[in-house]
Each structure stands twice: as C-alpha cells, then as structure tokens.
C-alpha cells in the first residue's frame, strides 16, 4: 500500500480438490463463475426434491419409480419430462406449468442477430429503457421457451397415449403447485388448475423443479474486495465495455466479468454464441492494462467511468494521452518487459518488489490484508479456480458441485511511473 492507499494485487484463495487452500497473487482477475440453479423460495433439494441440474446424478439412486412431477415450462422442463417418460416406461410423468402450452423458442434469422457481437455494442450504448425493451422483446430467444421439435414430440406422445386410453405423460397446463408435503411417509403434491381452482392430489417419487438458472453474482466471490466494486442503481455490477468492473480509485487491479453481464451487454452474455469474441475482448483489455504502468487514481477513475458510458470523450482522450506518456516512461523503466514476463507466467519472485509475508490460510479468505506481500508465485496451471466445466449446451443438465474460491485485495507499493 502506498501513501495514497493503492491496492496493486489480489490474493486469490482457492480450495483444491483435496481440500487444501492455495493462494495465487494476481494483478488481474477474470471471474467466469457461470450460472447457478434457482429453486423457488423456501425449497431445498433433497433425495425426493431435485433441481433439474441434479437429474442425471440422482436418477441412478431410484428404484422402480411410479410417478414424477416436473415443474416448469422451459427447455429444461420439457427435456426432463421427455427423458423421464422415455427412460421409465412404467412411470407416470406429470408436467406442471402455468402457461397453456410450452412456448416455442424464437430462433428465427432476424431475431438471432441479437446474438451477434455487433448487437453487444448496440446494447451496451443503449439507454436503460431501450435495454429493458430489447431484453423483453427477445427473451423468447432463450428464456422459458422450448425447441419446437421437442414440443411437437411431447404433444405426439401425449396425444397418442390419450387416444390409447393409457395416459402416462400427463400435462397439467394453466396450473401451479398448491402444496408439497415431503416426510417419512413419502412425497405428496397438490396441483391446482388455475382457471377453476380444481385441485389434484398426487403421490410422487420425485418432484423435479426445472426452474432455471441465474448468473452467479461476481461480487459474492470477492470477499471484502467486492465492497470496492461499483454497482448500478438496479443492483447489477457496473461494467466497462471491456467487461472490467468499475472500482474505487484505490483498487488498481483489473477485475473482469465473463458471463454475468446481461444487464449491460445483452442477452448473449450467458450463452456460448459470443463467448470467443467476449474473451478476446477481455484478453485484449487485460493485456493492454498490464502493459501500461499504473496511472494515478483519478485517471483510472476516468477510464472506468468513461467505459461505463458516464463521461464524454474528452477525459478519455486525455486518458489516452496520459496512457501513451506513461507507456513511454514505462518502456524506459523496463516495467513493460516485466509486465510481459508476468503475462507469460515468468515472473521472478522478488524482482522489483519486496518479498515477505506468509501464505494465506482459511482465516484469510475474503479479508483485505494491509501488509507487505509475499513473492508472486509462479502460476500452476490447473490448480487455481479452474474446475471441471459443467454442461455447456442446452442438452446437458448436470453440473458438478463447486468448491468455493474467493479473492481478497492485497495492498502493495504502487510502482512509480517515471
């Protein structure tokens, strides 16, 4: 930490597969924590009540199930209903949802352009009310919708069984769950048909909530460092166009968000369509910042504020001038070469900064430490926050449990720029 209280490094504490904690020091952090499953308020999953993401892991534990109840009307719900109906020919599958019918996903050509990288620019610069309108217009490209072929397939099975008089795929449309009793004697749910209020009690082996996912809030991973990051009035994290979080001026580290940016960058944020472009943009910004020596806080502030669309181009132009000047000074001081070495993971401990301190333990997680740093460790590929990736396509329903990982800020003497 300098006299001005600058924070130059983050210590990221990660739990490894064997439970041990490992600390990695970084100037820059990219948070790509993906989506987390959402259950209705008050619902906790157990051996009979599942979120759809648990389906494939928990199915093998079942013995001769007689009835499943599946709640939801999105792609996951339709896939779960179809899968259970096909995999358990002796079981009844009751699909419960509030709509009259499943809604087809809009994958028409013009609407698909909302996933173009150009649309990200449009969305980012749009006023808030336009953002909201665009999200609402095109939510049916991704949310609470089902591929038309799957809708038709489910309807075909349902209709065929109805004609044959042995209805195993039961559709409780325009309905809601009015009650769930789950005790040692079994699982009982009550389904209410919304137009008439008629109630149907059902005994079931399993209740599957296909109630969707939401992006992990990136700031919840940051411990106290999260308090130095800015939020928008709506609660979302304030992001630059380069996905860098706007932070308090004293935090000189770059923190980027990969994924949880739908509120600022649009519908493609949580999907695969624009991932390659997005991570390229993050890599370019990150590289640029690492090459450039640290700037005074006011200048960093301009950068994040301008990136978030708050300031007119004036300060940004000035910022560019400052950056170029600083870059020239940095070249002279050799810091550029050090930055490149850091990028390549070739940082030499002790070079150019004091080496002291200790490795972080469990008690350090999430704390902002104000002391001299230990040497920057060489990166150990595969040991940091990376875990087995969860399903990345619509048809993959299971995601393995994730161990926790947090970052905390590390104050460090700010390198001088000249």
Contact footprint for ligand FAD (CB under 6 A): 32-35, 76, 213, 216, 221, 258-259, 270-273, 385, 387, 389-394, 397, 402-405
Nearer to ligand FAD, 51 or 67 (CB): 51
Nearer to ligand FAD, 28 or 76 (CB): 76
CB of 405 to ligand FAD, least distance (A): 3
Nearer to ligand FAD, 34 or 374 (CB): 34
Nearer to ligand FAD, 28 or 175 (CB): 28
CB of 115 to ligand FAD, least distance (A): 8
CB of 24 to ligand FAD, least distance (A): 12
CB of 370 to ligand FAD, least distance (A): 24
CB of 403 to ligand FAD, least distance (A): 6
140 token code pair: 């049916």
Nearer to ligand FAD, 35 or 62 (CB): 35
Nearer to ligand FAD, 29 or 397 (CB): 397
Nearer to ligand FAD, 362 or 393 (CB): 393
What are the Cα distances from residue 326, in Å, to 96, 319, 368, 412, 415?
A: 61, 10, 28, 19, 12
CB of 382 to ligand FAD, least distance (A): 13
CA distance 259 to 267: 10
Closest residue to ligand FAD, Cβ-based?
Answer: 34
CB of 153 to ligand FAD, least distance (A): 17
């Amino acid at each position: 930490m300098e006299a001005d209280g600058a924070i130059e490094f983050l210590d990221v504490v990660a739990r490894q597969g064997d439970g041990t904690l490992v600390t990695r020091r970084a100037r820059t952090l990219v948070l790509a924590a993906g989506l987390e499953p959402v259950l209705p308020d008050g619902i906790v999953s157990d051996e009979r009540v599942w979120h759809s993401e648990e389906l494939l892991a928990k199915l093998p534990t079942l013995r001769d199930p007689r009835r499943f109840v599946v709640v939801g009307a999105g792609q996951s719900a339709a896939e779960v209903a179809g899968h259970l109906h096909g995999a358990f020919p002796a079981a009844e599958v009751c699909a419960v949802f509030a709509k009259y019918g499943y809604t087809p996903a809009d994958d028409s050509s013009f609407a698909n352009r909302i996933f173009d990288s150009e649309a990200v620019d449009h969305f980012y610069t749009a006023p808030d009310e336009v953002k909201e309108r665009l999200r609402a217009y095109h939510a049916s490209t991704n949310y609470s919708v089902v591929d038309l072929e799957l809708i038709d397939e489910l309807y075909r099975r349902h209709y065929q069984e109805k004609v044959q008089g042995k209805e195993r795929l039961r559709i409780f449309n325009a309905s809601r769950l009015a009650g769930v009793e789950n005790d040692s004697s079994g699982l009982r749910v009550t389904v209410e048909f919304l137009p008439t209020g008629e109630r149907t009690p059902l005994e079931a082996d399993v209740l599957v909530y296909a109630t969707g996912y939401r992006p992990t809030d990136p700031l919840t991973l940051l411990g106290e460092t999260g308090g130095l990051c800015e939020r928008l009035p709506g609660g979302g994290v304030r992001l630059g166009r380069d996905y860098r979080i706007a932070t308090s001026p004293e935090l000189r580290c770059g923190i980027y968000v990969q994924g949880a940016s739908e509120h600022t960058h649009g519908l493609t944020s949580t999907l695969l369509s624009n991932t390659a472009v997005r991570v390229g943009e993050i890599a370019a910004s990150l590289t640029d910042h690492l090459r450039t020596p640290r700037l005074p806080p006011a200048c960093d502030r301009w950068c994040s504020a301008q990136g978030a669309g708050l300031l007119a181009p004036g300060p940004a132009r000035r910022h560019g001038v400052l950056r170029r000047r600083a870059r020239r000074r940095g070249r002279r001081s050799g810091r550029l070469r050090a930055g490149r070495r850091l990028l390549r993971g070739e940082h030499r401990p002790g070079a150019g900064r004091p080496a002291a301190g200790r490795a972080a333990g469990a008690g350090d997680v999430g704390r902002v430490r104000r002391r001299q740093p230990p040497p920057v460790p060489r990166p150990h590929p595969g040991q940091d926050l990376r875990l087995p990736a969860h399903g990345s396509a619509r048809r993959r329903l299971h995601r393995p449990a994730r161990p926790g990982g947090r970052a905390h800020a590390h104050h460090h003497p700010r390198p001088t720029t000249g």
